[in-house]
Structure 1
């Protein structure tokens, strides 16, 4: 079983333009194939395509060749060239890389699913990779939540009264004046609806040039 598809993928247009990553991957695959007596029947490339999904033109062609029996194995430089998802990896293993199906080989991880040991290593590496990504995501989410709780700016639309300047919040003189009027009126006992009316009478509007709503006034005076 040595009819092999060499699969190459780069995720950014910059890598595609420079071609270094593409050429480096191809060189490694050809060297590996020569060492292990594999016949590369076709080299397939997905250029500038993410591994978040299996719906990639090149990969689908490669899988089609495996499914039709025109190739016996798929060879990649590294597992993340094929997929970054444990769920997708599981689907590929179940549908294509079973003990009686096609083989999956990876140069960097030294994976060869023609053996039980190779299949075990593949599953372990995929699980560890997924765990690392989920851990990073959790840490990022916790850090952003902490910044919010501390009142720090975490991106998105700047709150009323401020403007985003190079990632930092800077007071907007006109909007700060509106905030001060709203808070003064609230301190005087006016309802949210009446404050909105009073601001309109004084020519103050929202960023979109519309009249303030009571709900907007509520947020403005609450942050004072």
Structure 2
């Protein structure tokens, strides 16, 4: 199939056949490795610049989200809904709709609710 036909069908064809035993193959491989290293460094530069800007603006960045917003009322609600037999996905959706977010304002996912359920269970076993 011609390239135009592939493009019309929305196909993308990529091939790379390097013979590292030849001078051309070895040279192309080195150029590709240099470009990959350049891109990695560019990503690092952009990330450092973005983090510096967040720091300058005194906005939170990095690390794990604080759990200060996920105590008391939210944990009690999760425990109550789990006792009623509710699954974690609907509980997460309900909490998001009610405006309960993690710090610094991330929405709750079912995995977050699962971790909270496990944390509550481990605390009740210890007590």
TM over 0.5: no
Identify the structure with bigger relative contact order (alpha carbons < 8 Å, sequence gap 6+).
2
Which structure has the highest helix share of the two?
Answer: 2
Which structure has the highest strand share of the two?
Answer: 1
State the TM-score, normalized to the length of structure 1: 0.24
* Bigger radius of gyration: 1
